[in-house]
Chain A
């Protein structure tokens, strides 16, 4: 496996910061907006954004975690079922503006499931999507993000990992590719 860092720790921090200001531009003081991270790895992005937004705005931002396991479209097409993570939405999303947050946007299928799962909690006024990394050209559904950390062009054989200081020891985005890929 060949490893290539596509966002260094410094760029990583700047990107998160920029995303915060883009969110503030559209949502002012988050009066009627909630952030919802998609389990499992969208939660990492959410946690950082929440901390940074609260630092900037000096107020609490309403956040939740959403698990999409039961809404996936690949049930019975996988070898083993995915055991779900926790969903934690203890507020009403009815008539709220919701920003769904995930780490990597790839085929768009996770987001499709996420929108379905979200609707089980009510009818939001508006749903937006924030993707920390957008792997364009591999979309299988007509889904695009409203806020993008970084757009990258990749082959489907390559793997993109968003790594976190809390988990992997370092904030960075890494592209893994097979050697002799041509």
Chain B
């Protein structure tokens, strides 16, 4: 069987459809593993992984950590808030210092788009991008597509609408690439100010009416409004946003068909999605979280296979 065509996981853009299928197939097995009485396999017992988080994260960081532990890797965690980067050290210096301690693989989240790509040209270790600014978040897109495949049987031919803050969302971009590579149709929906200007060049449909978008789709992926990345006002108030683009039970029940509701988290209940929708049968939000561990195990395992045994 083939391995991935890439040396690092920097973005979905670099992956082929076959790469994604290999990841899914491996994740299927890891999903079995994490549901066993003993949830651990010894595959990566001689690999050390550093998790570098230059930006806050709960879910992704925990999910990566659990995935690495389930694979028996040794891990070290680094968070920017309590590190020497505050003392003026550059990214490459920080990372090279960590690598001197014989670390084989890096998982990095960074506020600057392209940070993971930049690092991959400077250091000798496998790199997994855990989110770089507003650019890409590949493991999130993989777990989203994996969850759709699990729920609906296949991704090809499905219609997926991504609703919300597309402009600031790395989840949206990675999802668009991933879903399109797997043969799904993608639509983005949100206020005009939060839809990037040339997004149609990616081959996605654009819609500003939530009801129309929901009636078109099989799956709705509701994104969070990223207030931390918005230095100006993109819409008058959260209340107005919620009234126009928030998904509530009444809207969901009045659609022509039953759709699947997703959310990458963290949820702002009552803004982009109401509690009754988030906790409804149609929501697969917690399945996404479970699948996140399996997908991250698969990606880590497949990239680790490329580290030559000394």
Please, which residues of chain B bring their CB within 8 A of the CB of A70?
29, 33, 41-43, 301
Cβ of A120 and Cβ of B38 under 8 Å apart? yes
Complex contact B42–A121 (CB within 8 A): no
A80 at the interface (CB under 8 A from B): yes
Q: Are B309 and A83 in contact (CB under 8 A)?
A: no
Q: Which of B31-82 contact A (CB under 8 A)?
A: 32-33, 36-38, 40-44, 46
Question: How distant is the Cα of A70 from the Cα of B308 in the complex, in angstroms?
Answer: 17
Instruction: Say yes or no: A69-B29 contact (C-beta < 8 A), given A75-B305, A81-B1.
Output: yes
* Contacts known (A80-B2, A120-B38, A121-B38); A67 close to B29, Cβ less than 8 A: yes
User: Do residues B41 and A76 form an inter-chain contact, with CB atoms below 8 A?
Assistant: no
**Which of these, B42, B46, B305, contacts A81 with CB under 8 Å?**
B305
The yes or no answer to B302 lying at the interface (CB within 8 A) is yes
- With a cutoff of 8 Å between Cβ atoms, the chain B residues found around residue A75 in the complex are 43-44, 304-305
Q: Which residue of B lies closest to A82 (CB)?
A: B1
Q: How far is the CA of A5 from the CA of B46 in the complex (A)?
A: 42
- Flag if A120 contacts B308 (CB, 8 Å): no
CB atoms of A83 and B22 under 8 A apart? yes
Whether A8 sits at the interface, judged by CB under 8 Å, is no
| Complex Cα–Cα for A116 and B40 (A) | 11
Given A76-B305, A81-B302, are A87 and B38 also a contact pair (CB < 8 Å)?
no
Whose C-beta in chain B lies nearest to the C-beta of A76?
Answer: B309
* C-alpha spacing A120/B39, complex, angstroms: 7
Residue in A69, A70, A80, A121 with the greatest tally of chain B CB atoms within 10 Å: A70
Chain A nearest CB: distance from B20 CB in Å?
13
Q: Compute how far the CA of A120 lies from the CA of B41 in the bound complex, rounded to whole angstroms.
A: 8
Q: Does B307 contact A (CB under 8 A)?
A: yes
Shortest beta-carbon distance, A77 to chain B, in Å?
5
Size bracket, chain A contacts: 20 to 34
Task: Tell me, yes or no, whether B274 is within 8 Å of chain A by CB.
Answer: no
CA distance A83 to B3 in the complex (A): 9
CB closest residue in chain B, given A120: B38
| A84 adjacent to B29 (CB under 8 Å) | yes
Q: Is the CB of B1 within 8 A of A83?
A: yes
Cross-chain contact of A84 among B2, B26, B38, B44 (Cβ < 8 A): B26
Output the nearest chain A residue to B70 by Cβ-Cβ distance: A70
Chain B residues contacting A30 (CB-CB under 8 Å) are none
Contact B32 A87 (CB under 8 A): yes
Interface residues of A in 71-96 (CB under 8 A from B): 71-72, 75-78, 80-84, 86-87
Say yes or no for B25: interface residue by CB 8 A criterion. yes
Task: List the A side residues contacting B37 at CB < 8 Å.
Answer: 120-122
Chain B residues within an 8 Å CB radius of A116: 42
Q: What residues on A are CB-neighbors of B22 within 8 Å? A: 83
**How far, in whole Å, are A115 and B2 apart by their CA atoms in the complex?**
27
Residues of A within 8 A of B25 (CB): 83-84
CB-based nearest A residue for B308: A76
Nearest CB on A from B205, distance (A) = 35
Q: What is the bound-complex CA distance between A83 and B21, given in angstroms?
A: 11
Please give me the residue from chain A that is nearest to B301 by CB atom.
A81
In the complex, besides A70-B42, A86-B29, A120-B33, 7 extra interface pairs with C-beta distance below 8 angstroms are A69-B29, A70-B33, A71-B42, A80-B1, A80-B3, A87-B29, A120-B38
Binding site for B on A (CB under 8 A): 67, 69-72, 75-78, 80-84, 86-87, 116, 119-122
Pull 21 A–B residue pairs with CB atoms less than 8 Å apart, ordered by A.
A69-B29, A70-B33, A70-B42, A70-B301, A71-B41, A72-B43, A75-B304, A76-B46, A76-B307, A78-B305, A80-B2, A81-B3, A81-B302, A82-B1, A83-B1, A83-B25, A86-B29, A87-B32, A119-B38, A120-B40, A120-B41
